[in-house]
A and B are shown apart, each in its own frame.
Chain A
Amino acid sequence: MKLFKKGKLALLAGAMAMAVSGAFGSFALAADVTINMAVPDWPPTRIMQDLANKHYKPKSGNNVTISLDFIPWPNYYEKLAASLTSGEEKYQMAVSDSQWLGAFIEGGYYMKLNKFIDADPELQAIFKDLHPNLVASYSTYPHKTDNFYGFPQMPDVLVTYYRSDLFCDAGEQSAFKAKYGYKLACTPAEMSDTDWDQVRDFGEFFRRSSGDSLAGQTLNDDFYGIAYQAGIGYDFNTMQINGFIWQHGANIWDETKAPTGQALGVVNSPTAVKAFEHYLSLLEFMPPVVKTGTMDIFKTDELFREGKVAWNIQWIGFGESAISAETSKVADGTDFAQMPGLRNDDGSITRWSNIGGQPFVLTTWNSDLVTQESVDFVKWWLSSDTQHMFAAAGGQSGLQSVHTTDAYMDYRPWNHAFGPQLNWQKDVWHIPEFFELLVQQQQTFDKAITGQISAQEALDSIAVFQDELLREAGHIE
């Protein structure tokens, strides 16, 4: 009983406080606003907090505190989902993977931004300057419509990490030439011009056993040529396999074609099977952990930084730790290039890849004042100066007026690959059933990766599952 009374009292006090602050709020010169933002705990968000603390001065003159809740990556999704759906209304903004847009927009948690954009020429200019592939993946729902929800926080793409100390070694160069009849790629420009056939040769060529010599030094452990993600967790094989599927001209289920777009016959088309087989065929040149189906982006990153593999495909977000001597044994001999693709007859390369990175979004339960401050913060974040500071500290910018400048190219050794690679990005589904599609696909791909089933069987099973699920959800009629 006592408890209830106390609760009522507290409620009353709260209501009074609100009334008082409301009454005086309009007279006060500066209001106190706190924006709590759920973010994954890693450098791009830590840098954002740092820059906000040092440089952010709200135009409104209010006392705005940008408070980031750094949540460990492994449980970030579950934690964000729990917070949003539990109704605790704790976060005013959140960094979200683009694929989660559908699930949380349908739940009414992410705020539609069109009215702000329509009313604000500055925001319109920002949207015009953002790379269109980023707007499509990070902002639109339903995918590729004119309904906008997010802004890029840390755009990310897959690029090639390679050991230039090995690839440019004179001895290795001549041995490679002798064996394969063409020059081993060495400079970032040469490496950016590679196709999967060359990658296969890299894999075979750089596979050395303990006791063999590598770039003039005797190895005391096995060494492997290539690596890319092939892990069962989260999206750690889909992201690479999708690239192969699109490059070969096949497709995943296309949500923009709903409700007539099919899964059966598309997902398991002969071309898709060929693409998946192509992906699988390169696994034999990778470190032995690939056979467990757990070689995720963290494992390939570790293998690369520990100097066990010569060449790796990785998100740019891992670049800092690869070139930092505190975390990497190959910090000095590492360089970057665009992700390989399929060579066309005219010598050009088709490089479709799955986009990574995260947008940030506004939540729906905030007062107009908080919402306005959030929009202002986003505008500051996406201003040219801030984006340059972010890039100088190791982040990426989705603004074309920033990432095409000469200054941008000099910030980090991978930046030259970022802009061109952005042109080749597509994204996996954004519908609310995203996780069900993803988990079944990851597990089925994993069975093929660990040799339990064939590529054809895997894609057939995925197509049947998706057809059933999407029909039930009304995405296919």
Chain B
Amino acid sequence: MSERYQHRQGLIAQFISENRGPLLVTPALAVLVVMNIFPLLWSFGLSFFKYRANRIKEPEFVWFKNYVKVLNDPNVWDRFQTTAMVVSIDVLLQLVVGFLLAMLFEKSFPGRRVLLMLVLTPMMLSFVAVGAFFRYYYEPTFGLLSQAIKAITGETYILLATPEGAIAGIIFADMWMWSPFVMLLVLAGLVSVPKHLYEAAEIDRTSAWRRFWTITFPYIRGLLLLAILFRTIEAFKLFDVVWIITEGGPGTSTETIAIYVYRVAFQYFKTSQSAALGYILLFAVIVLTNLYLFFVRQRAAEEGG
């Protein structure tokens, strides 16, 4: 009895030591499969049916009809264009501002920890508060921006009155909120530049500009690419701030694809159509993810070599 028990114990121990990797990975994968992958497959299946969550009717299999419908929807392409424009300008500005901020904090000085916190706070704010307060900052009667401009020019300034202004307003708010993220990335790169390289450059009396391109930039290049992809993927999710500041207006000029998916799914309750739209978006995200990994691996290869 006890021998058999020991034998069994031994088998279990052997099984565990032979399958350590899979066993340790299992809990994490289980959570991901249940909470992410399973629902995704479910909606993938659903995207081939005709189904609305607010109707009693049974789902009806319709093949690719939802995909055809989504791809033929001019609104989808319009919202994609808006999103692409917002994302590209937004990310570019975040890079520039984030980079400049990182340069400021590169060196140590008294109060650095506290000042760094001041710059980091925007990304800790709630979207509701950022949305409501930026809408107020832009508002022509009470808003700080308009008041400041009026004090200088004497004219009432209405930023959100034109599609261009509204897009600028959205981008500015999001850029302000997330540039600190880029700053931290760049800062991580900056502090990883080996000091002896700078010392060598100083002996060679290299110009600051050249020093930047030959020493600093190679160390942050990978991080910058990373920041671009990271923020691009994040900006694709742009929803709450737009929803509160402009609600997609004037007209539909600031309606992002994320807002459109939300409307289709929750306001129109075209459940299966929104799933199809989701999958088309997912395809775009996977392409971006692969690009991201491609750049990172290339960088790793460069470093290794």
Residues of A within 8 A of B (CB): 77-78, 81-82, 84-85, 103-104, 106-108, 221-222, 231-233, 287-289, 291-294, 299, 302-303, 306, 308, 432-433, 435-436, 439, 443-444, 446-447, 449-450, 452
Q: Contacts A289-B140, A291-B158, A308-B141; is A443 near B54 (CB within 8 Å)? A: no
| Main secondary structure on A side of the interface with B | helix
Contact of A452 among B159, B246, B251 (CB under 8 A): B251
Q: Which residues of chain A are within 8 angstroms of B139 by Cβ–Cβ distance?
A: 289, 299
Residue on A nearest B268 in the bound complex, by CB: A436
Measured between C-beta atoms, what is the minimum distance from B241 to chain A in Å? 14
Q: Is the CB of A103 within 8 A of B269?
A: yes
Measured between C-beta atoms, what is the minimum distance from A70 to chain B in Å? 17
Q: Is the CB of A107 within 8 A of B140?
A: no
Contact of A287 among B141, B162, B166 (CB under 8 A): B141
Contact of B251 among A106, A221, A443 (CB under 8 A): A443
Does B261 count as interface, using CB distance less than 8 angstroms?
Answer: no
Q: How far is the CA of A318 from the CA of B56 in the complex (A)?
A: 37
Q: Contacts A81-B266, A288-B141, A289-B141; is A447 near B251 (CB within 8 Å)? A: yes
Q: Is the CB of B56 within 8 A of A107?
A: yes
A-B contacts, CB under 8 A, total: 101
Q: Is the CB of A443 within 8 A of B141?
A: no
Q: Which residues of chain A are within 8 angstroms of B122 by Cβ–Cβ distance?
A: none
Q: Is the CB of A107 within 8 A of B141?
A: no
Q: Contacts A85-B269, A308-B141; is A446 near B158 (CB within 8 Å)? A: no
New A-B pairs, 12, CB < 8 Å, besides A81-B54, A103-B54: A82-B266, A288-B141, A292-B140, A292-B161, A294-B135, A294-B246, A303-B141, A432-B54, A435-B269, A439-B263, A439-B268, A444-B251
Does B222 count as interface, using CB distance less than 8 angstroms?
Answer: no
Does B126 count as interface, using CB distance less than 8 angstroms?
Answer: no
Residue on A nearest B57 in the bound complex, by CB: A106
Residue on A nearest B138 in the bound complex, by CB: A292
Measured between C-beta atoms, what is the minimum distance from A146 to chain B in Å? 22
Residue on A nearest B270 in the bound complex, by CB: A436
Q: How far is the CA of A201 from the CA of B160 in the complex (A)?
A: 28
Q: How far is the CA of A233 from the CA of B159 in the complex (A)?
A: 18
Does B68 count as interface, using CB distance less than 8 angstroms?
Answer: no
Nearest first, the 8 closest Cβ-Cβ pairs linking A and B are: A447-B251, A450-B250, A292-B160, A232-B249, A107-B54, A288-B140, A291-B161, A435-B267
Mark out the residues of chain B between 38 and 86 whose CB falls within 8 Å of any chain A CB in the assembled complex: 53-56
Please, could you name 8 A-B residue pairs with CB atoms under 8 Å apart, sorted by A? A82-B266, A232-B246, A288-B140, A291-B140, A292-B249, A302-B142, A306-B142, A446-B251
Q: Contacts A439-B267, A444-B251, A450-B249; is A294 near B160 (CB within 8 Å)? A: yes
Interface size, B (range): 20 to 34
Measured between C-beta atoms, what is the minimum distance from A213 to chain B in Å? 20
Q: Which residues of chain A are within 8 angstroms of B160 by Cβ–Cβ distance?
A: 292-294
Q: Is the CB of B56 within 8 A of A292?
A: no
Q: How far is the CA of A108 from the CA of B54 in the complex (A)?
A: 8
Mark out the residues of chain B between 248 and 275 whose CB falls within 8 Å of any chain A CB in the assembled complex: 248-252, 255, 263, 266-269
Q: How far is the CA of A302 from the CA of B249 in the complex (A)?
A: 20
Contact of B248 among A84, A222, A232 (CB under 8 A): A232
Measured between C-beta atoms, what is the minimum distance from A83 to chain B in Å? 12
Does B106 count as interface, using CB distance less than 8 angstroms?
Answer: no
Q: Is the CB of B250 within 8 A of A106?
A: no
Residue on B nearest A291 in the bound complex, by CB: B161
Measured between C-beta atoms, what is the minimum distance from B35 to chain A in Å? 15
Q: How far is the CA of A84 from the CA of B246 in the complex (A)?
A: 28
Q: Which of A82, A108, A439 has the most CB of B within 10 A?
A: A439
Measured between C-beta atoms, what is the minimum distance from B50 to chain A in Å? 12
Q: Is the CB of A222 within 8 A of B156?
A: yes
Encode contact with A along B164-188: 1 for CB under 8 Å, 0 otherwise.
0010000000000000000000000
Q: Which residues of chain A are within 8 angstroms of B158 by Cβ–Cβ distance?
A: 288-289, 291-292
Residue on A nearest B255 in the bound complex, by CB: A443
Q: Contacts A288-B156, A291-B158; is A446 near B249 (CB within 8 Å)? A: yes
Measured between C-beta atoms, what is the minimum distance from A428 to chain B in Å? 15
Q: Is the CB of B247 within 8 A of A294?
A: yes
Q: Which of B135, B247, B268 has the most CB of A within 10 A?
A: B247
Measured between C-beta atoms, what is the minimum distance from A446 to chain B in Å? 5
Measured between C-beta atoms, what is the minimum distance from B165 to chain A in Å? 8
Q: How far is the CA of A253 from the CA of B135 in the complex (A)?
A: 34
Q: Which residues of chain A are within 8 angstroms of B255 by Cβ–Cβ distance?
A: 443
Measured between C-beta atoms, what is the minimum distance from A81 to chain B in Å? 6
Q: Contacts A294-B135, A308-B141, A450-B161; is A233 near B247 (CB within 8 Å)? A: yes
Q: Which of B248, B255, B266, B267 has the most CB of A within 10 A?
A: B267
Q: Which residues of chain B are within 8 angstroms of A447 by Cβ–Cβ distance?
A: 250-252
Residue on A nearest B251 in the bound complex, by CB: A447
Q: Contacts A294-B249, A443-B252; is A107 near B161 (CB within 8 Å)? A: no
Residue on A nearest B146 in the bound complex, by CB: A288
Contact of A293 among B55, B140, B251 (CB under 8 A): B251
Q: Is the CB of A104 within 8 A of B161?
A: no
Q: Which residues of chain A are within 8 angstroms of B56 by Cβ–Cβ distance?
A: 106-108
Q: Which residues of chain B are within 8 angstroms of A450 by Cβ–Cβ distance?
A: 161-162, 249-251
Q: How far is the CA of A292 from the CA of B163 in the complex (A)?
A: 9
Q: Is the CB of B55 within 8 A of A446?
A: no
Q: Which residues of chain A are within 8 angstroms of B54 by Cβ–Cβ distance?
A: 81, 84-85, 103-104, 106-107, 432
Residue on B nearest A288 in the bound complex, by CB: B140
Q: How far is the CA of A447 from the CA of B253 in the complex (A)?
A: 9
